[in-house]
Structure 1
Amino acid sequence: MSQAVTRSTTGPATAAGPGLLASLDPLLREWLPRQRWFAGKGRPVTGFSLVAATELLPLEGKLGLYHLLVRAHQPLAPVPGAGVEDGIPHPGDCYQLLIGVREALPPRLAPALIGHVHDGPLAGRTVYEALYDPRPAEVILEALRTQARIGGLRFVRRDEIRPDLVPRLMTAEQSNSSVVYGDTFILKLLRRVVPGTNPDLELPLALAREGCPRVPPPTAWVTAEAAETGAEEPYVLAVLQPFVQGATDGWELALRELAKGEDFSAEARALGRATAEVHTALARALPTVTLGHLQLQSLVEGMTARLEAAAQAVPALRPYAPALHSAYEALADLAAEGHTWTAQRVHGDLHLGQCLRAPAGDWSLIDFEGEPARPLAERRMAQPAVRDVAGMLRSFDYAAHSAGGPPALEWAAACRAAYCTGYAEAGGNDPRTDPVLLRACETDKAVYEVVYEARHRPDWLAVPLSAIRRLAGPGPA
């Protein structure tokens, strides 16, 4: 393979950065909001500011490649009390872009088109989403393999990487971007980035040190140094992990079995065991804390604030808000009586789509970023492990509602029970023995889902609202 990284832009390219961004501005205003991973949908982009720019391939050749960290400025959403916690980002979200530059795009790259530049340093050229193009993807892997430093970008390798692996972009809808290299590695490129320790790298590294086989260990990663971005901490930009060849994600597998009328309880039980094994390893690897009255009060206040903001944002939720408050009040009452709970680091956004079943039948957990709409500090806080359990229980409901009908709801109930049974077998604590905490966490998750679906997928809003009706009703949830 030829030399992948030919020039850094710590000097000239950084100086040209503002002119480069100004020339891209009208194109990015049209292109960026259409991307699945853009968080500020529904509000206009009023401008951009450059955090960092690095040239990974020089423009002297037929192909140029820029790495950009760009802030997209938007007005605040007109929802009283709305903020990051209910899925609305503050103005100035920082996005990671890989911009390819060519004279003209070949037909195979037509879906990657961003637009044609009319002025500035790229005038007369065509720019596009570079990950669709194998050559830029090769550049990233070679930089990781050689542990390069290019401008403010640092490429760190933990294990050996074979060269000349053929890349392909995964086109499934997701909140980040992924490239598979020769069925050996998968690179997850984080799109909306913040400075600080990202749990999507932190937790798999901790689990690797514990020898936990349920999570693919990080092979390499990319960071942007704080000195180059003006932040207090580096940005984590991408993580390379082993690719589980032939694996099926839990969502696809569950829907397939549901469509055939097949029982999924055995798989749900195995998935419960896998979840408990990951939680046990995380509790060994990282500190745990005891949640007493004051800590639980803070947890309940956070849940209550999210419910109130969600009810303001989504009118369909308002009739159920008083009953949902009772789920949080019951938890606060137990804390006031002296009950305590253990909190630890958790996955934070666990659902069927975050789980992979290998051909041999083993389950793995992936994507430890947490709910990206929440602040990084919150995503890194210790939480009751049942929060992950609640997320998976909600995912079984989602699968069932996608099929519809009483048989599907019975399927979901069986999966939920089997999952909890498997979790108890491997972790020793059946989540159903703490119904107050489980109900509060499942309610909090359903409230989050209501806001997400209302903003991004209105056709799916009925799914979390169905859970809201159940959780707000009398009797056990």
Structure 2
Amino acid sequence: MGRFPPSHPGHASVTPRPASPGKGRHAMSEAVTRTATTSPGLLASLDPLLREWLPRQRWFAGKGRPVTGFSLVEATELLPPTAKLGLYHLLVRAHQPLTVGAPPHPGDCYQLLIGVREALPPRLAPALIGHVEEGPLAGRTAYDALHDPLPAELLLEAIRSGSRIGGLRFERDPHQEIREGLVARVMTAEQSNSSIVYGDTFILKLLRRIVPGVNPDLELPLALAREGCPRVPAPTGWLRAELAGEPYTLGVLQPFVQGASDGWELALRELAKGEDFSAEAHALGRATAEVHTALARALPTVTLGHQQLQMLVDGMIERLEAAVQAVPALRPHAPGLRSAFTALGDLASEGRTWTAQRIHGDLHLGQCLRSAAGHWSLIDFEGEPSKPLSERRLPQPTARDVAGMLRSFDYAAHSTDLPVPGWAEACRAAYCSGYAEVSGVDPRTDPVLLRAYETDKAIYEVVYEARHRPDWLQVPMAAVARYATTDPI
């Protein structure tokens, strides 16, 4: 998921010490114009440290299985190692034992920005990877360089100047200005990627687990910018690579929405005060519909008939069966949950069709920002990173996004010590009404489709919470009990 699902922690951040203007600018200028080289044995030098450090990162996808080794996909030296600082951009593949019955897999590929210093100053202690014992970096200290202002500012300078360094391509929208001298700070909130804010003007999202192909986190905001949709910040620049003939999206730079609250934080604050959130939910429904409408104009739509719908239903049933095996507490509810999916298949067999289009794919309150002026924006169009990129780019019914937001209201309602009766229900109604005002179609008028998607989402949540946050399991389990017996609307 674009962020920590499904409770969406906030945008906590730290303010780094600014780098020396003179040295920083000179180092960046040298880095973005030089031909990249790397030392032989670089990965072997880092291997024992990465085996310990990588599995502890929030964005590491292979938790629960040991890392048995690494292979180098691409290495680019951005700054030559000096007494003060060396900087490497690495794409490494982590090898892990396969789970029983899993198909062969080459290992996930991760994007790392590794800094090396003789000694790490105290301000960078949280970024420590370890002390290198052997190889070309022996005697130095390795750390996650995104926490260091100078390396982070180097990335922005490379985008600003449209640099090419080794196999890396830094590109930008020529119609947007990128000022020099913007101080960088890394965002410390738990995310499935890493983000850097530059002077409260831009935010750079670096994808950590990367896959070949066109990433929707760049593709869809660019398409929406062409349509003039104001609900999504238009990309200012991006970082990509081409390896073995395949394109890779590595990062996206967008305007930073100053003074904004994400929808999750805002909802929790209002809940804590016992305040009604329906006006905000209504506005958020309108914003969602504006994005969907613009995407339908910008990119092709398709009609889902019986065969396509049956494949969708089969996928939902397969996920249910796997979830029951993983979380036995689901077993008593399985027949009722299955009925939510078979009811959709029955409609399709009777000749009912649905329109599918490109959607957000992982919509919840934490993927929405409300500016100080009350304007809602949608962010993080990556979709669910655990799913194949080809699947994330498929056209889908807009009800999937709507269902994700309705589940998010339910989560928020259960996240307060003092529940507000009817809060989630009021938000559901307001959101759907706002959506209908823009799209002309109220999602509640297709209850079978909406119930299927909400049920599918709740089942996913049950598995997630059982694995990662057992204390939260009762939230989706309560929803599962409802969906197994009644229509959620």
Q: Corresponding residue for 1:194?
A: 211
Task: Tell me how far apart the structure 2 counterparts of residues 263 and 77 of structure 1 sit (CA, whole Å).
Answer: 46
Contact 1:212 1:278 in 2 (8 A): yes
The one-letter amino acid of 1:76's match is: L
The one-letter amino acid of 2:454's match is: E
Contact 1:251 1:399 in 2 (8 A): yes
- Structure 2: segments with no counterpart, 5+ residues: 1-24
Q: How many residues align?
A: 462
Q: Corresponding residue for 2:4?
A: none
Instruction: Report the alpha carbon displacement of residue 474 of structure 1 after superposing the two structures with TM.
Output: 3.8
Q: Corresponding residue for 1:315?
A: 328
Task: Tell me how far apart the structure 2 counterparts of residues 242 and 307 of structure 1 sit (CA, whole Å).
Answer: 40
Instruction: Report the alpha carbon displacement of residue 319 of structure 1 after superposing the two structures with TM.
Output: 2.2
The one-letter amino acid of 1:98's match is: L
Which one is further off, 295-304 or 136-145?
295-304
Instruction: Report the alpha carbon displacement of residue 330 of structure 1 after superposing the two structures with TM.
Output: 0.3
**1:138-182 CA distances to partner (integer Å, 9 max, x unpaired)?**
110010011000000000011321111010111011111000000
Task: Tell me how far apart the structure 2 counterparts of residues 284 and 260 of structure 1 sit (CA, whole Å).
Answer: 40
Q: 3-state DSSP class of the match of 1:360? A: coil
1:460 aligns with one of 448, 462, 472: 472
Instruction: Report the alpha carbon displacement of residue 3 of structure 1 after superposing the two structures with TM.
Output: 4.5
When the two structures are superposed, what TM-score results if normalisation uses the length of structure 1?
A: 0.94
Quick one: structure 1 residues 10 and 45, their matched pair in 2 at CA, closer, same or farther if it must change by over 3 Å? farther
Quick one: structure 1 residues 124 and 475, their matched pair in 2 at CA, closer, same or farther if it must change by over 3 Å? closer
2:455 aligns with one of 435, 443, 456: 443
Task: Tell me how far apart the structure 2 counterparts of residues 26 and 272 of structure 1 sit (CA, whole Å).
Answer: 49
Contact 2:109 2:210 in 1 (8 A): yes
Task: Tell me how far apart the structure 2 counterparts of residues 321 and 73 of structure 1 sit (CA, whole Å).
Answer: 35
Instruction: Report the alpha carbon displacement of residue 93 of structure 1 after superposing the two structures with TM.
Output: 0.5
Higher percent of residues as helix: 1
Contact 1:214 1:274 in 2 (8 A): yes
Quick one: structure 1 residues 322 and 476, their matched pair in 2 at CA, closer, same or farther if it must change by over 3 Å? same
1:126 aligns with one of 141, 148, 152: 141
The one-letter amino acid of 1:67's match is: H
Task: Tell me how far apart the structure 2 counterparts of residues 296 and 448 of structure 1 sit (CA, whole Å).
Answer: 20
Matching of residue 211 in structure 1 with residue 223 in structure 2: no
Contact 1:66 1:100 in 2 (8 A): yes
The one-letter amino acid of 2:85's match is: L
1:256 aligns with one of 269, 275, 286: 269
Q: Corresponding residue for 1:470?
A: 482
1:140 aligns with one of 155, 177, 183: 155
Matching of residue 57 in structure 1 with residue 72 in structure 2: no
Instruction: Report the alpha carbon displacement of residue 76 of structure 1 after superposing the two structures with TM.
Output: 2.0
Q: 3-state DSSP class of the match of 1:225? A: strand
Task: Tell me how far apart the structure 1 counterparts of residues 488 and 236 of structure 2 sit (CA, whole Å).
Answer: 45
Q: Corresponding residue for 1:48?
A: 70
When the two structures are superposed, what TM-score results if normalisation uses the length of structure 2?
A: 0.92
Q: Corresponding residue for 2:402?
A: 389
Quick one: structure 1 residues 163 and 397, their matched pair in 2 at CA, closer, same or farther if it must change by over 3 Å? same
Contact 1:178 1:186 in 2 (8 A): yes
Matching of residue 295 in structure 1 with residue 308 in structure 2: yes
Task: Tell me how far apart the structure 2 counterparts of residues 71 and 416 of structure 1 sit (CA, whole Å).
Answer: 42
Q: 3-state DSSP class of the match of 2:358? A: coil
Summarize the alignment of residues 24-43 of structure 1 with structure 2, pairs less than 5 Å apart: 24-43=46-65
Task: Tell me how far apart the structure 1 counterparts of residues 344 and 122 of structure 2 sit (CA, whole Å).
Answer: 58
Contact 1:324 1:471 in 2 (8 A): yes
**1:219-250 CA distances to partner (integer Å, 9 max, x unpaired)?**
00000112xxx3x4111000000000000000
Q: Corresponding residue for 2:437?
A: 425
Contact 1:320 1:468 in 2 (8 A): yes
The one-letter amino acid of 2:447's match is: P
Quick one: structure 1 residues 12 and 366, their matched pair in 2 at CA, closer, same or farther if it must change by over 3 Å? closer
> After TM superposition, where is structure 1 displaced by more than 3 Å over at least 4 residues in a row?
5-12, 474-477
Q: Corresponding residue for 2:414?
A: 401
Percent identity of equivalent pairs:
78
Instruction: Report the alpha carbon displacement of residue 126 of structure 1 after superposing the two structures with TM.
Output: 0.1
Instruction: Report the alpha carbon displacement of residue 409 of structure 1 after superposing the two structures with TM.
Output: 4.9
The one-letter amino acid of 2:297's match is: R
Quick one: structure 1 residues 187 and 455, their matched pair in 2 at CA, closer, same or farther if it must change by over 3 Å? same
Higher RCO (C-alpha 8 Å, min separation 6): 2
Task: Tell me how far apart the structure 2 counterparts of residues 53 and 204 of structure 1 sit (CA, whole Å).
Answer: 29
Task: Tell me how far apart the structure 1 counterparts of residues 166 and 67 of structure 2 sit (CA, whole Å).
Answer: 28
Which one is further off, 317-326 or 206-215?
317-326
Contact 1:9 1:54 in 2 (8 A): no
**1:184-217 CA distances to partner (integer Å, 9 max, x unpaired)?**
0000010000010000000000000000000000
The one-letter amino acid of 2:343's match is: A
Instruction: Report the alpha carbon displacement of residue 446 of structure 1 after superposing the two structures with TM.
Output: 1.1
- Structure 1: segments with no counterpart, 5+ residues: 84-88
1:379 aligns with one of 387, 392, 395: 392
Instruction: Report the alpha carbon displacement of residue 61 of structure 1 after superposing the two structures with TM.
Output: 4.7
Contact 2:36 2:77 in 1 (8 A): no
Which one is further off, 450-459 or 38-47?
450-459
Contact 2:37 2:77 in 1 (8 A): no
Quick one: structure 1 residues 324 and 136, their matched pair in 2 at CA, closer, same or farther if it must change by over 3 Å? same
Q: Corresponding residue for 1:150?
A: 165
The one-letter amino acid of 2:30's match is: T
The one-letter amino acid of 2:278's match is: S
Contact 2:264 2:365 in 1 (8 A): yes
**1:30-73 CA distances to partner (integer Å, 9 max, x unpaired)?**
11111111111111111111111000011135111100011111
Contact 2:200 2:258 in 1 (8 A): yes
Instruction: Report the alpha carbon displacement of residue 23 of structure 1 after superposing the two structures with TM.
Output: 1.4
